[in-house]
Every structure is written in C-alpha cells, then in structure tokens.
C-alpha cells in the first residue's frame, strides 16, 4: 500500500480477536474524549475456540486481513494495537494492600508502590499454589488514607498509611502468548491488553450506570464475558466458555441441518420466546449431506425456540452462578447490559430478565463518529471499547497507567515497518513494560 502514513500520536488502533470474527478499528482522537473512526476491517475468524487460539495460521490470516482492510480505509499503517482478550482463562482477584506514608503528602510513586504490593501478594500466593498467570489489569478500585475509605485519588493527601483495594485481572500465560505470536507474525506489537467485557462496558455504558452498579454481559460466539462496574470502577471480570456458536450447533444437531443453515435459521427466524403462531409457521430446513436442491424438512418455527431457549437459560444460569461465586450477584446493582453478536437473538432480553431478575437493556457502542452502521452493532461493542480505552484519561478507565506513564503510550498509531521486516523482537515487549 502506498498510502500517506502520518505518524500521528493521536491515532489509536484496536484489535478484537473473537471466536467468530477478527475486527480492527483505527480512530483519531477529537477533543476531550471524542473519537472519529478512520478505518474498519473485519474478517471471519476460524482459528479460535472459546476465545483461545487453536490454529495459529488461521488466526494470523484473519488478523492480517482485518488489519489490512482497516489500514486501507484509514489511509495509514499501524504498528501497535490495543488488544482485546476474551479467553476462558481470565480470572479476577480482589486484593487489599497497605503502605506507610509516614505523614508526608502522598505522591504518585506511593500509589504505584501500594498497587505493586497487591500484585506481589498475588504472585506469592500463585507461587505457593504452583500456578502462573499474566496480569492483564491492575485497577485500583478504592483507596483509604488512615483507614478513611472512599478516597477517589489519594495524591496530595496527608496521612500515616495508604491502603488500596485492587482488581487484578489475569489470564493463563499460554493463550496470551499464542495471541501475541499471531499478532507479531503480522508485524504488530501490543500496546495494552484489555479484557473484552471491560472494553464493552467502556463503549456501551453511560456514567450513571457505572456509578450505580451494572453488569455487562458480552455474548460472543464462543464465550460469554462478564464485567461488573460499581461506583465508577470495574470491580470484576470473568469469561465463560459458552456462546452463540453453541446455539447454532444445537440447531444443527437438533434439526440435522448443516451448521451454515443452522446459523441462517437462528439469525433469521430464531426466537427465545414461544409465540402461538410459531406452531403453524413452517420453515424449510435443508438436511445434512444433501446438495442444494436436495431434500428439505419442514419444521414448525416453534421448534427453533425449543432448541434455543434451553441454551440461553443455561448461559444466564452460568452467569448468575459465576456472579454468586464472586460474591457480587447482590452487590452488582439492578441493571444488566447485554452486548456481543449473540445478544441479537430475539427474546434474549426477556430470558436474561427472568433468570437474573434485573433490568436488562441491549447495548451498542456509543459516541463514535464516522462509524459505519454495519460496525455500530452490539457485536462491535468490545472493539469500540478498546478504542475508548486507548483514548480515555478518566481514573477508572486507565487504572494504574494514570500513575505510571509508559514510555510506549500514545504510539498505537505509529506507522508500521514493512511487513517483510521481522518484528519478533517485539514478542514479550508488553510483558517487559508491565513488570
């Protein structure tokens, strides 16, 4: 490509590698927190299962194609991306740590230090248990000075002790390294890793929801990810290995139809709620193994509901159990926002309301200028949120990074070297910057 390559530091590139599609957005900052999307690329993903790479070549191809398309549209090349992770090995840990500040005015270094000690405590616990993980987020969700809780920002305050309540989100090292390898094969580096459901929350929630308490449920193809926001902070993230592909596979098995036909039936005629007329409405269902003009079965539309509903029930029951085991089901507020491609199944909101006993709304990315309609749906919420993560400066969004400016920050939009040049040296750079 011979496009002009402005080395603009206000350009952010986001890459969401999902189980069904890889999406790349390139955007430019506009004013305080505004953004204009310059380029969009999306490509079918076949190399992942439950958000985890199982086929490196297929993942590399999908990443390369999605990034190329976004670069062509934006007229710029990118070198580093903010990467969404939604693999099922993501875990949340809440830790408290305390340091002495001996009566001096608290400085940014004190804050970074107390967060470091929370990370060190987790690492020690993992060493004892013989486990290992990669930190994805270290977000302070509340400070206390001399035991006085509710401090939003302790810098400049005086006291004897500073304590912090930190959300540490981690992932298993293998899947993160595989994602990183697929990306480095496309000569891209990672600016930040962000849990997809957290990103979806950044793009779809309004401030009041984040303050009063809300659970974001990102219903993807191979995963259902959860992020809980409370008092402005993300306080929990988690990923469950179940998604829209399970619904499609249930339909394919239940009706003996090819997966592609099951996918079509689901998106065109699927409904989670039973309607009396659906017994009389007959659908043509091609049979597996038959050619295009081969035998079709006629089944009442209500049969789709009978297949779809149990899987959605199971999904929301798993979400409920997950929140209960994290001790957050009752603390997490009265609202739920559904995002992700699979949130578009008709009737999903009613099922969520019934099982979670919450007010449920459907979310879609907010506040992005220049976004094509096709990319403004709930399936693109996570990718849009990654852009927002790159642009935002509010304390709850950037967490620790606010206190420890990485020298690499702001380079997401730097033009990339030619594809032929090996960038394997970048492998592990993210790890180095974060330890």
Ligand X SMILES: Nc1ncnc2c1ncn2[C@@H]1O[C@H](COP(=O)(O)OP(=O)(O)OP(=O)(O)O)[C@@H](O)[C@H]1O
Instruction: Please identify, using beta-carbon distances, which residue of 261 and 343 lies nearer to Mg ion.
Output: 343
Closest distance of CB 342 from ligand X, Å: 4
Nearest partner of 205 among 36, 335, 90, 63, judged by Cα = 335
Closest distance of CB 355 from Mg ion, Å: 21
By CB under 5 A, name the one of 18, 41, 159, 238 that touches Mg ion.
Answer: 18
Closest distance of CB 220 from ligand X, Å: 2
Interacting partner of 341 out of ligand X, Mg ion, none (Cβ under 5 to 8 A depending on kind)? ligand X
Closest distance of CB 168 from Mg ion, Å: 22
Question: Distance between CA atoms of 103 and 407, rounded to whole angstroms?
Answer: 31
Does position 220 bind ligand X by CB under 6 A? yes
The site that binds ligand X (CB under 6 A) totals a number of residues, namely 25
The site that binds Mg ion (CB under 5 A) totals a number of residues, namely 3
Mask: binding to ligand X, 362-401, rule CB under 6 A, as x and -? -----------------x----------------------
Closest distance of CB 282 from Mg ion, Å: 34
Instruction: Please identify, using beta-carbon distances, which residue of 45 and 305 lies nearer to ligand X.
Output: 45
Closest distance of CB 10 from ligand X, Å: 27
Question: Distance between CA atoms of 138 and 434, rounded to whole angstroms?
Answer: 10
Question: Distance between CA atoms of 198 and 159, rounded to whole angstroms?
Answer: 33
Instruction: Please identify, using beta-carbon distances, which residue of 92 and 163 lies nearer to ligand X.
Output: 92
Does position 244 bind Mg ion by CB under 5 A? no
Closest distance of CB 382 from Mg ion, Å: 5
SS (H, E, C) the chain: CCCCCCCCCCEEEEEEECCCEEEEEEEEEECCCEEEEEEEEEEECCCEECCEECCHHHHHHHHHHHHHHHHHHHCCCCCEEEEEECCCCCEEEEEEEEEECCCCECCHHHHHHHHHHHHHHHHHHHHHHCCCCEEEEEEEEEEEECCEEEECCCCCCECCEEEEEEEEEEECHHHHHHHHHHHHHCCCEEEEEEEHHHHHHHHHCCHHHHHHCEEEEEECCCCEEEEEEECCEEEEEEEECCCHHHHHHHHHHHHCCCHHHHHHHHHHHCECCCCHHHHCCEEEEECCCCCCCCCEEEEECHHHHHHHHHHHHHHHHHHHHHHHHCCCCCCCCCEEEEECHHHHCECHHHHHHHHHCCEEEECCCCCEECCCHHHCCHHHHHHHHHHHHHHCCCHHHHHHHHCCCCCCCCCCCCCCCCCCCCCHHHCCHHHHHHC
Mask: binding to ligand X, 3-22, rule CB under 6 A, as x and -? ---------------xxxx-
Interaction residues for ligand X, span 21-50 (CB under 6 A): 21, 45
Closest distance of CB 216 from Mg ion, Å: 12
Distance of CA 166 to the CA centre of its chain: 19
Instruction: Please identify, using beta-carbon distances, which residue of 341 and 390 lies nearer to Mg ion.
Output: 341
Interaction residues for ligand X, span 321-360 (CB under 6 A): 340-342, 344-345
By CB under 6 A, name the one of 267, 409, 429, 434 that touches ligand X.
Answer: 267
Closest distance of CB 374 from ligand X, Å: 11
Which residues 6+ apart lie within 8 Å of 104 measured at CB? Answer: 158
Interaction residues for ligand X, span 97-116 (CB under 6 A): none
By CB under 6 A, name the one of 47, 135, 175, 222 that touches ligand X.
Answer: 222
Please choose, out of 32-40, 214-222, 292-300, 417-425, the segment that lies near ligand X by the rule CB under 6 A. 214-222
Does position 182 bind ligand X by CB under 6 A? no
By CB under 5 A, name the one of 201, 220, 222, 244 that touches Mg ion.
Answer: 220
Mask: binding to Mg ion, 382-401, rule CB under 5 A, as x and -? x-------------------
* Conformation bin of residue 268: beta by default, left when phi > 0, alpha when psi is -120 to 50: alpha
By CB under 6 A, name the one of 243, 390, 410, 413 that touches ligand X.
Answer: 243
Q: For binding to ligand X (CB under 6 A), which residues are involved?
A: 18-21, 45, 51, 86, 196, 220-223, 243-245, 248, 263, 266-267, 340-342, 344-345, 379
Q: For binding to Mg ion (CB under 5 A), which residues are involved?
A: 18, 220, 382
């Amino acid at each position: 490509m011979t496009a002009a390559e402005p080395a603009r530091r206000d350009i952010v590139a986001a890459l969401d590698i999902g189980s069904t599609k890889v999406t790349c957005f390139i955007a430019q900052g506009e004013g305080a927190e505004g953004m204009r999307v310059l380029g969009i690329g999306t490509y079918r993903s076949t190399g992942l299962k439950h958000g985890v790479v199982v086929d490196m070549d297929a993942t590399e191809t999908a990443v390369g194609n999605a990034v190329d398309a976004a670069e062509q549209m934006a007229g710029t090349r990118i070198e580093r991306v903010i990467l969404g992770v939604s693999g099922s090995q993501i875990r949340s840990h809440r830790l408290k740590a305390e340091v002495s500040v001996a009566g001096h005015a608290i400085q940014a270094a004190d804050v970074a230090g107390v967060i470091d000690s929370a990370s060190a405590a987790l690492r020690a616990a993992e060493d004892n248990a013989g486990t290992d993980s990669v930190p994805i987020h270290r977000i302070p969700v509340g400070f206390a000075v001399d035991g006085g809780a509710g401090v939003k920002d302790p810098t400049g305050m005086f006291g004897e002790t500073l304590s912090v309540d930190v959300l540490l989100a981690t992932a298993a090292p293998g899947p993160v390294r595989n994602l990183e390898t697929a990306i480095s094969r496309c000569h891209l580096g990672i600016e930040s890793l962000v849990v997809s459901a957290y990103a979806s929350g950044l793009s779809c929630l309004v401030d009041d929801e984040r303050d009063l308490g809300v659970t974001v449920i990102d219903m993807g193809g191979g995963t259902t990810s959860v992020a809980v926001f409370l008092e402005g902070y993300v306080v929990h993230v988690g990923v469950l290995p179940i998604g829209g592909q399970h619904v499609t596979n249930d339909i394919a098995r239940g009706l003996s139809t090819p997966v592609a036909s099951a996918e079509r039936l689901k998106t065109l005629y699927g409904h989670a709620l039973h309607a009396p007329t659906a017994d009389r409405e007959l659908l043509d269902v091609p049979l597996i193994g038959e050619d295009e003009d081969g035998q079709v079965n006629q089944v009442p539309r209500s049969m789709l509901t009978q297949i779809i509903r149990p899987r959605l029930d199971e999904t929301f029951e798993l979400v409920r159990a997950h929140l209960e085991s994290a001790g957050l089901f009752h603390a997490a507020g009265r609202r739920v926002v559904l995002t992700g491609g699979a949130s578009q199944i008709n009737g999903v909101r009613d099922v969520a309301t019934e099982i979670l006993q919450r007010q449920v709304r459907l979310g879609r990315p907010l506040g992005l200028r220049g976004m094509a309609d096709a990319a403004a749906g709930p399936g693109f919420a996570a990718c849009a949120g990654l852009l927002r993560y790159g642009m935002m400066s509010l304390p709850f969004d950037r967490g620790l990074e606010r206190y420890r400016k990485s020298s690499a920050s702001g380079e997401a939009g730097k033009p990339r070297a030619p594809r032929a040049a090996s960038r394997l040296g970048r492998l592990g750079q993210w790890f180095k910057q974060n330890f």
